[in-house]
Chain A
Amino acid sequence: MDDARAPQAPWPDDEFVDYVQARQHTLLRAAYLVCGDLRLAEDLLRAALVELARQWDRVREEQPDLFVRRRLYRDAVASWRHRPPAQLLESPEWLEPDEPWDADVVERRREVLRALGALTPRQRAVVVLRWFEERDEHDVADVLGCSVSTAHSEGIEALGRLRDALPRADLGAGGVR
């Protein structure tokens, strides 16, 4: 017998809706930070939520957070395997405007995304779980299916690379929870 018992009703289960609505924006942002592509992030989250809905009767009383994150993060990391190597270079020509401009925020955002882009997909997943979703190393290991020591070492290495890529930011011990 198939274990995908839910949903039978044509309208969404209220509890499912509440659960998804409380988390979907954070999860979408997390997926975007891991895979760097908003359309892909939407697709990954949609796929994870469909699986969650299919298993809702079974999972709702247990660990829906772990279920959906496992699916989302592992798919986000796996999605990278099919891509060509990237070059992260930029035209050197740019004349700075004379006055402050809110596009600096856009540029800062891109700096951070570029720094994330220089990490391995799994390192990005560790960074996002640890410091965006504020999960501990045990949760990271559970979600990514690795040992706690691997989650720890990947996090340390990723942090070092982010420090190098973002020299203007202070990512020292005081800046990282």
Chain B
Amino acid sequence: MSTDLRELLELASDDVPELDLAPEAWAEARRRNRAVVRRTVLGVGGVVAAGAAGLVLRERNPSPSPAPSTTTTARVAADGRLPTSVVEGITVYLAPEPPDEALLPRYPDAARLRIPRHLGPADLAIRAELGPVGGVAEPLRAVFLVVAEGGGFHPVLFAPDAPFQVEVPTVRITQGAGRQLALSPRSISDDRHRVVIPQPGSVVVLDARDGGVVTVDVPDPTLSLAGWARDRTIVVARGRDYGWLIDPRTGELRKGRSAVNPDWADLAQGDAGAELRTFSGTGELTGIRLLLGAPVVPNSTSVSNTEGWVAGGAFLPGAYQRAVERSQGLVAVHSDLPPKPRVLAAPTGPLVPKGAYRALAWGPRDVVLFESRSERAGFQGMVRRVLAWDVNEGLLFQVADIDRAAATPGEFSGIYTL
């Protein structure tokens, strides 16, 4: 059966709210007509006739550009405090609409994060290539992938204390057909000097200090995530069906017997619902607990910290949608306590894509850094921001704007990790 274009246009606009503009339009028309009469009388009286005529002209021939909308007001508290709701015992923090994110307060301890206001490799003036004389001695804060000439991606290393961002053209990462390449939240090692990047059939380990590269073959063409285990030596990689434990020093490779993860804990969807899973220092599964409260559906990579917190993106079905009319967000759970999540619910609307929130890393204290994606209104492209959610205080801050992504060689691919 063919799809009717009208149905698609109906779908694209079916969430436009119903408004009654008739009384407002009538009142405004009446006000303007009265203003025209008053100004005309002034003109006849000879008082500032030219100016009045100009006013009347402008009044009767208004610019096509409309006046600023008065329909929306900012809903962001100066201290970043969010409105809350309780859904079946779960506290849900209601995040602001995408345009209001720019009004959030700056993260107060931003200097400690070492993340600049604008994050990305777009500024070519501060980008250099890794040369034969050495690499980046300073600790890395982020790694970006830029589009390589002829296909694939090159890493760009960002260390706040280094004078340049350093592109590594000798490393070319390929992307499997139909698979989306991603940099895991644990792509950068805990010592902040080594980077692991997956590609179909291998993982690439780059030492930023000297530019040394080790490639370890992995018999899995579907590899899409790789990160450093907490023991600082093992690389944990995941494909579509299997997990792999890799020692890049020796090239030793082992298939995980069950779920694997480089982090202390993650959130995943199991047969009985959302689970909090814990892992050993070498990335092997050590425990599973079901989350309490209204069900959530984890949908993207989690991040955990040594204090026991784990956070990740999630869908919010059923009870959440009925109670707060929001369907996705970020979920944080403490692994040492009964696994009852705290939820940051993303707004709903045409500007908010599926999977809008993605956990990036934990910051100081109980603050999780995450990416918020949204569309600019008016077909103006994608906006990506790093926001910080204090899961204890329920505060939300802005941290950085992410450079725009592009598909041309040398440009930022949109893939990065902190």
User: Could you tell me which A residues sit within 8 Å of B by CB distance?
Assistant: 2, 4-13, 16-17, 20-21, 24-25, 28-30, 32-33, 35-47, 49-54, 56, 74-75, 78-79, 82-84, 86-95, 97-99, 101-110, 112-114, 116-117, 127-128, 131-132, 134, 159, 162, 166, 169-172, 174-177
Contact = CB atoms under 8 A, between A and B. Distances in A.
Given A8-B30, A79-B65, A40 B297 contact: no
B336 interface: no
B3 A36 contact: no
Contacts of B381: 86-89
A114 B378 CA distance: 10
Nearest to B36: A2
Interface string B284-317: 0000000000000101110000000000000101
Given A12-B27, A78-B65, A110-B350, 20 more contacts: A2-B40, A16-B26, A21-B22, A24-B21, A24-B22, A36-B377, A36-B378, A39-B377, A42-B21, A44-B66, A53-B29, A56-B29, A86-B379, A89-B382, A90-B353, A92-B405, A92-B415, A93-B414, A131-B9, A169-B5
A97 B315 contact: yes
Interface in B17-43: 18-30, 32-33, 36-37, 40
Contacts of A166: 8
A83 B380 contact: yes
A99 B274 CA distance: 13
Interface of B: 1-6, 8-16, 18-30, 32-33, 36-37, 40, 60, 62, 64-69, 71-72, 180-182, 269, 297, 299-301, 315, 317, 327-328, 350, 352-355, 358, 371, 373, 375-382, 384, 404-407, 413-415
Contacts of B12: 33, 109, 112-113, 116
Given A39-B71, A103-B328, A177-B6, A75 B33 contact: no
Nearest to A7: B30
Counting from the closest, the 10 A-B pairs by CB-CB distance are: A117-B379, A53-B29, A175-B2, A43-B66, A49-B25, A37-B378, A37-B377, A29-B13, A12-B26, A78-B64
B350 A113 contact: yes
A132 B29 contact: no
Contacts of A16: 22, 26
Nearest to A18: B22
26 contacts: A4-B60, A6-B33, A7-B29, A17-B22, A20-B21, A28-B19, A29-B16, A37-B378, A42-B21, A45-B21, A49-B21, A49-B22, A50-B32, A51-B29, A75-B64, A83-B380, A90-B373, A91-B415, A94-B180, A95-B301, A97-B269, A99-B297, A109-B14, A170-B1, A176-B4, A176-B5
Contacts of B14: 29, 109
Nearest to B8: A112
Contacts of A127: 5, 9
